[in-house]
Structure 1
Amino acid sequence: MSGALPIGFRVRIGASVRVLDGGTALIGGAPTRLLRLTPRAAGLLASGELTVVDAVTGTLARRLLDTGIAHPDLSPADIGLSAEPLHEATVVVPVRDNQAGVDRLLRALVGVPVIVVDDGSPTPVRAPGARVIRHAAPRGPAAARNAGLAACDTALVAFLDSDTVPQPGWLDALSAHFADPSVALAAPRITALATADEPGTMRPGVGLVRYEEIRSSLDLGAVPGPVVPGTPVSYVPSAAMVVRRTAITGIPTESSGEGGFDERMHVAEDVDLCWRLHEAGWRLRYDPAAVVAHEHRTRLHGWLARKAYYGLGAAPLAERHPGQVAPLILAPWSAAAGAAVFTGTRAGLGVAIVVSAAAGARIARTLTGLRRPRQTAGRLLALGCGSALWQLALGVCRHYWPLAVASAAVSRRARRVVLATAVAEGLVDWYVRDLRGGEGRWRRPRLDPVRYLVCKRLDDAGYGFGLWRGAIRARSAAALLPRRG
């Protein structure tokens, strides 16, 4: 959708963006890119902010948003920038057999219209003050959300699972994004809900409880940005999201031809929804300033089963969205250099250096006109190499671990490489996620590196198991194939 940004809409350059040549060149976004600006555009962005005042600033703001170099800088007052009644929203809560969660959630939704969809609970769910729709038999979360969606007539619809608790201000923060008429969906950051210990759980401060606080699959981090396939935020979970009702009802599903969630999908239906909206031309936003807490699984068996369950969704997604489900997205040069490093030999390291140097020279030739093309090329090269090594390490430990284990069983060199990769990737992840909080700020770690490493390897093993099981069940390797970046 190409609706113009309204007058008064503000954007701000991302904190991680590098400004070069007096502001005429910016490096950042997702994926990382170099964006060149005219002197006039550079002048408009001199303060790091931009307010839409006319068609020129609107076009510039749109380009910055779509590249991920800038993010909306909004407040609840910006809801008034839209001609639509964005202050009107209905919350839809799909639930099966979680009365306590519904009671807790309703206490946080006072003053907001709520529709609770009971998806065939053995004991009917009670929801005082809310409208209740009941399915006589379970039909799945996608069908429950669609039933609630069909009963809504407000401009916006918020979906919240019964094991979530939204924090104050979440709905206004997300609603403001819809002042951009091309936005169909906005999602909050999902963090861990502080709960008392239950029998059979690990006590706070150790193991899965702390790991899930740090690295839940639902927590997409502290950096805002567009939701685009193949980027760090390629989808947002349906546990908490707000949608434009006319947008979500207007994109047909593959199974029924009607709008909403695909009811044939009992896993990854949220990913499918995000990608269908994106393919239809709508824009989606992730905003960690809005926060919804979630009651994470912390019992080992259920936790591992959930990780494998997430992996199962890759195969049906690959069938519906060819080319979008790829464990690795690499440029040919970075794939070659990274693969050479992972041979664990001096010759491989030499090949990686030569390939990287050649790639750096090619990048430098495309940067003519910049004051320091070689220095800029070096930065881009370093970012590309780092991304390639990180993806390959994650591939060894997560997506392709069955192959890694098989190779380690027959080769001493492979065994050393796989073991070193498993330890290094886990410790780097601990450093980024816990020691630095994923936000670049040093802090006291919540979990020691050894236990974090064990949990991370179990996390990846569970997902990888589900990924391969789903591929075998679908008799298709599409979800396992890397893609050229």
Structure 2
Amino acid sequence: MMTYRFPSQVELIEQTDGAILLKTIPLSVLRVNRACATLLKAMRDGGPVANVAQNTALFDQLAARGFLEQVQTVPESPQKYPFVSVIIPVRDREKELGRCLESLSALHYPLERLEVIVVDDGSKDNSAWYAKKWGAKVISSGANGAGPAAARNRGAAVANGEILAFIDSDCTASKEWFQQLVPLFDDATLAAVGGKVAGISKESDLDLYEDVMSSLCMGAHPRLAGKGADTFYLPSCNLLVKKDAFLDLNGFAPTMQVGEDVDLCWRLRDKGWRIAYMPAGAVFHKHRNQLWSFMSRRFFYGTSEEKLQRLHPKRKKQMVVPPLLAGLLFVFLTIPWTGGLGVLIAGIMAVMDSQLLKEKTQKMGVNLRLFQLLRARLRTMVSLLYSLSFHLVRYYSILMIVLGILQPLFIPVLLLMLGCAAMVDFSVKKVQLPFISFFFFYILEQLSYGLGVFWGCVKGMNFRSYVVVLRRHIDG
């Protein structure tokens, strides 16, 4: 179940008509009414919190803005053991499938409450034989290469389980896969749950990069989401879904060869369901550890953006760009060319920005020291620099390289953006690699993905994937 914790870095400032929530890193200020203040005060003080279930939506919103922490807790064993159908699409992966089925036979879950369904998508090897050897039910996808989405739907159509568990044939499951994830369905609002996806191999530098930078890796922190315009999803290689919810939406989009898991999760959320990620219940994936296959896969992922944007037009990319702070960042970046004048202008703009922020917080009844203001704005500016850098590197890296060749003065800006995006991701993801190796793979990933996005847009004659919604305001 999902519980909530009052973070140590958040201050609750009580007022007569409610309270102010203050978070200094990054700086965020929020006014709440008296009823909400009472709930939060009880949570902060460690006392009982009334009406937790009725206030789940409120707590989720506060957690999304960083004023509460979501804590996913899992009982040692579920109250009941629902019947689970494991569905594995396969095509010509007999050795990988054998390892996958062997891992499923060792699950810490009552075997009588499990069934394994292997959907053969036109294999020419012995995949079907291996599946039968391990006692799985084998069915045909009905086509020769229908794709994993269509194959999974065929498996779901004959499944007997209350819960459908999807895993890929090149994955192996941890013994605790179901033990740690199935109990989350005690929350009736959840339609889907996903667990950690780690790499099987950690031998090469590329293995180590993929282990934390793969789009299948959802991070070290639990996350829960319902309706909303964000892009949170759960990858299909470690995905548990309520069968009724899955069938109600007619399952995966069968014609999608990539991005079908994103589409399903977004449709579930649009329908009013919630989905949850738990950094447990691990599945181990055989990542691409050859450069060409690594780049090809990133290119393939990039091609999905056009179709996903067409199917879900409300989910546009968003970026918060406060005008004054963006101007300050621009002036700061041009100092190598503007010299002392740039330093003077940047100093004036920094003072103006800090003064406006001070006035804003004082109106809300919060008095901050100059050090707190400067630290908050510096952190916000670095965050803005990362967001802008990552977006430009992700989608316009080829154009940026061409501009650098045509105009050498642009090269320092290009290197700064590449370095900023890479350094932040390297630090946050805690990659166990030398930075130079990480930087090499990072550049290849951005180039490959960006080319995939462009190619998908060209094929679909739709370039709305490049549209970014700019917002002026940022918390704090």
Q: Does 1:418 align with 2:414?
A: yes
Are 2:281 and 1:295 equivalent residues in the alignment?
Answer: no
Letter in 2 for 1:90: S
How far does the alpha carbon of each residue in 1:391-450 deviate from its partner, in whole angstroms, 9 at most, with x for none? 11112322111221232122233111102222333233223323xx6xxxxxxxx32111
| Structural mapping, 1:242-391, within 5 Å | 242-251=240-249, 259-326=250-317, 329-333=319-323, 337-338=328-329, 341-343=332-334, 346=338, 350=345, 354=349, 357-358=352-353, 361=356, 365=360, 368-372=363-367, 381-382=377-378, 384-391=380-387
Question: How much does 1:89 deviate?
Answer: 1.5
In structure 2, what is the equivalent of residue 465 of structure 1? 451
Instruction: Give the corresponding residue for 1:452.
Output: 438
- Separation in structure 1 between the aligned mates of residue 119 and residue 75 of structure 2, nearest angstrom: 29
Q: Normalising by the residue count of structure 2, what TM-score does the alignment of the two structures yield?
A: 0.82
Q: Distance in 2 between matches of 1:247 and 1:29?
A: 39
**1:13 and 2:5 aligned:** yes
Find the residue that maps to 1:45 and give its secondary structure: helix
Higher-Rg member (1/2)? 2
Q: Alpha-carbon deviation of 1:332?
A: 4.4
TM-score (norm 1): 0.81
Identity in percent: 26
SS at the partner of 1:158? strand
Q: Which moved more, 1:462-471 or 1:425-434?
A: 425-434
* SS of residue paired to 1:313: helix
Q: Which amino acid aligns with 1:283?
A: R
Per the TM alignment, residue 30 of structure 1 is displaced from its structure 2 partner at its CA by 12
In structure 2, do the counterparts of structure 1 residues 427 and 57 end up closer, same or farther at CA, with 3 Å as the change threshold?
A: closer
AA in 2 matched with 1:118 = D
* Deviation (angstroms), 1:276: 1.1
Structure 2 gap segments, 5+ residues each = 106-110, 472-476
* Partner amino acid, structure 2, of 1:308: F
Structure 1: where are the runs of 5+ without partners? 1-8, 196-203, 252-258, 438-445
Superposed CA deviations along residues 306-357 of structure 1, whole A, max 9, x for unmatched, are 010011000111111114242x522443555555555565577746973895
Tell me, yes or no, if the aligned pair for 2:224 and 2:274 is still in contact at 8 Å.
yes
User: Aligned letter for 2:214?
Assistant: S
Aligned to 1:90: 85
From the superposition, tell whether residues 210 and 10 of structure 1 become closer, same or farther in structure 2 (CA, over 3 Å).
Answer: closer
Distance across 1 between alignment mates of 2:24 and 2:303:
33
Query: Residues 93 and 159 of structure 1 are in contact (CA less than 8 Å); yes or no, is this contact kept in structure 2?
Result: yes
- Amino acid corresponding to residue 319 of structure 2 in structure 1: I
What secondary structure, in the 3-state scheme, does the structure 1 residue paired with 2:44 have? coil
8 Å Cα contact 1:86/1:155 also seen in 2: no
Tell me the CA shift for residue 93 of structure 1. 0.8
Amino acid at match of 1:275: W
Q: For the residues of structure 2 that align with 1:385 and 1:310, how far apart are their CA atoms?
A: 30
Q: Deviations 1:136-170 (Å, cap 9, x if unpaired)? A: 41101110111111112322111001111122322
Question: Within 5 A, what are the aligned runs for 1:145-160?
Answer: 145-160=152-167
Q: Name 1:483's counterpart in structure 2.
A: 469
Conserved? CA contact 1:117–1:133, under 8 Å: yes
| Mapped contact 1:159–1:238 kept (Cα < 8 A) | yes
Return the letter of the residue paired with 2:270.
E
Alpha-carbon distance change, 15 to 366 in structure 1, aligned in 2, over 3 angstroms:
closer
Q: Which has the higher helix share?
A: 2
Is residue 2:177 matched to residue 1:179? Answer: no
Question: What is the deviation of 1:364?
Answer: 5.4
Counterpart pick for 1:194 among 181, 196, 201:
201
Residue 12 of structure 1 contacts residue 72 of structure 1 at CA under 8 Å; is this kept in 2?
A: yes
SS at match of 1:266: coil
| SS of residue in 1 equivalent to 2:70 | strand
Q: CA deviation at 1:288?
A: 0.6
Give the alignment's Cα RMSD to 1 decimal. Answer: 3.3
Partner of residue 133, structure 1: 139
Query: 2:108 — aligned with what?
Result: none
Match of 2:217 in 1: 219
Cα deviation, 1:187-208, whole Å, max 9, x if unaligned, reads 111111137xxxxxxxx2x431
Number of residues of Structure 1 aligned to a counterpart in Structure 2? 442
Indicate the SS of the match to 2:193.
strand
Question: Paired residue for 1:395?
Answer: 391
Change (3 A) 1:342 1:276: farther
Going from structure 1 to structure 2, the CA distance change for 1:16 and 1:241 (only over 3 Å counts) comes to farther
Whether contact under 8 Å (2:173, 2:284) holds in the other structure is yes
The CA deviation at 1:100 is 1.3
Write the letter of the residue equivalent to 1:293.
Answer: F
8 Å contact from structure 1 (residues 395, 401) kept in 2: no
1:60-139 aligned at under 5 Å gives the runs: 60-66=55-61, 67-68=63-64, 69-76=68-75, 79-80=78-79, 87-110=82-105, 111=111, 112-123=114-125, 124-126=127-129, 127=131, 128-135=134-141, 136-139=143-146
Q: 2:405 aligns with which of 404, 409, 414?
A: 409
Quote the offset at 1:97 in angstroms: 0.9
- 3-state SS in 1 of match to 2:128: coil
1:46 aligned to 44, 54, 65, which one?
A: 44
Offset at residue 297 of structure 1 (A): 0.6
**What amino acid does structure 2 have at the position aligned with 1:211?**
Y
Tell me the CA shift for residue 303 of structure 1: 0.8
Matched-pair contact (CA < 8 Å) for 1:337–1:353: no
Q: Distance in 2 between matches of 1:42 and 1:210?
A: 41
User: Residue 322 of structure 1: SS of its match in structure 2?
Assistant: coil
Does the Cα contact within 8 Å between 2:206 and 2:289 map onto a contact in 1? yes
Q: Which moved more, 1:61-70 or 1:174-183?
A: 61-70
Give the Å deviation of 1:472.
Answer: 1.7
Is the contact between residue 25 and residue 376 of structure 2 (CA under 8 Å) also seen in structure 1? no
Is the 1:12–1:49 Cα contact (8 Å) retained in structure 2?
A: no
Distance 2:348 2:99 in 1: 57
d(CA) in 2 for partners of 1:65 and 1:234?
Answer: 14
The CA distance in 2 between the partners of 1:341 and 1:393, in whole Å, is: 15
Q: Aligned partners of 1:90, 1:379: CA distance in 2, in Å? A: 52
- Measure the CA separation in 2 of the matches of 1:291 and 1:32: 34
Kept in 1: contact 2:309–2:315 (CA 8 A) = yes
Of 470, 474, 477 in structure 1, the residue corresponding to residue 460 of structure 2 is 474
Distance 1:303 1:352, change over 3 A: farther
